[in-house]
A = this chain, B = another copy of it.
């Protein structure tokens, strides 16, 4: 296991964006104009009125994994493009619907799609992106396109399971760490797993290879979510673009919080007492909650989990004979997504 330098990751992502963005835009243009407009706004290509915007939209982690997954089995990058487009479409379907469900009013410093276009069009545009993702794969080269479509459908089902589990955690104080990690595996892991395997599936790779790449993405996804959860509490606002202690303010049942609540420690019990909707939301209360999560071992448990999952991801990758350049790119993305600055 040789984790490459995270500093090359931005270049890897830029290259993936350039390779997949034209096909992504062609696909999105197949939607009815009102839905294409919502999609273009949400993806950051256009303003509310449909005027082209400079800039390059999201960070394209999933497309990058999909393209590298084709390269990992020796196929040309282009073979992975339908996969890159499909996973990015499903990712954006879930963001648009989740923002509505969660009542989030801002994403990437702009009003969310449902705030701008209304809940109705946001629901329908999300539906459109989801179905479009399947179409893009089914239009790809016959048999392998169907295999990729199966991977994507299964991942999407798990993503929806994960969102349902996440919503159901809101009302509970007795969520276990295991349940929380399963939820993260569904909500974040499944689509990263699919992205990491779909290019290889499109290239017609053998099942063992596809499964190993799937495992890489799955564990990476859980590690990524664990780090995201750490950032949600201790991330500095100037880095995350969100207020300090944001997840605590929202009473999120993230991994560190759940680990603390389940810790059977004095700090954990104190946290349980104040971690209700009626609990304090002022800065002092939030600072106290953050301290209690740390004292109860929630932070350390989450850091250990992230490290362990990153190791497991690397073990999956190391079980394969991936070309050196692709290996470097994949591991740089792994480093980039799991060693972000707090």
Interface residues of A (CB under 8 A from B): 31-32, 34-35, 97, 100-102, 119-121, 123-124, 126-128, 130-132, 134-135, 138, 146, 149-150, 153-154, 156-157, 160-161, 163-165, 167-168
| A163-B125 Cα distance, complex, nearest whole Å | 11
User: Pick the contact of A164 from B32, B97, B160 — CB < 8 Å?
Assistant: B32
Taking a contact as CB atoms under 8 Å apart, the answer to whether A167 and B120 are in contact is yes
Taking a contact as CB atoms under 8 Å apart, the answer to whether B124 and A153 are in contact is no
The complex is assembled from copies of this chain, and their number is 2
Majority DSSP secondary structure for residues of A touching B: helix
Given A130-B127, A131-B160, A161-B32: A121 in contact with B154 (beta carbons within 8 A): no
Taking a contact as CB atoms under 8 Å apart, the answer to whether B138 and A150 are in contact is yes
Query: How far does the Cβ of A82 sit from chain B's closest Cβ, in whole Å?
Result: 14
Taking a contact as CB atoms under 8 Å apart, the answer to whether B154 and A135 are in contact is yes
| A102-B161 Cα distance, complex, nearest whole Å | 26
Known: A32-B161, A32-B164, A100-B119. 20 other contacts (CB 8 A): A31-B164, A32-B165, A34-B164, A35-B160, A100-B120, A101-B123, A102-B120, A119-B119, A120-B167, A124-B160, A124-B163, A127-B130, A128-B160, A128-B164, A130-B131, A131-B160, A132-B157, A134-B149, A135-B157, A138-B149
Query: How far does the Cβ of A126 sit from chain B's closest Cβ, in whole Å?
Result: 8
User: Which 3 A-B pairs rank lowest in CB-CB distance, beginning with the nearest?
Assistant: A101-B120, A32-B164, A146-B146
| A165-B121 Cα distance, complex, nearest whole Å | 11
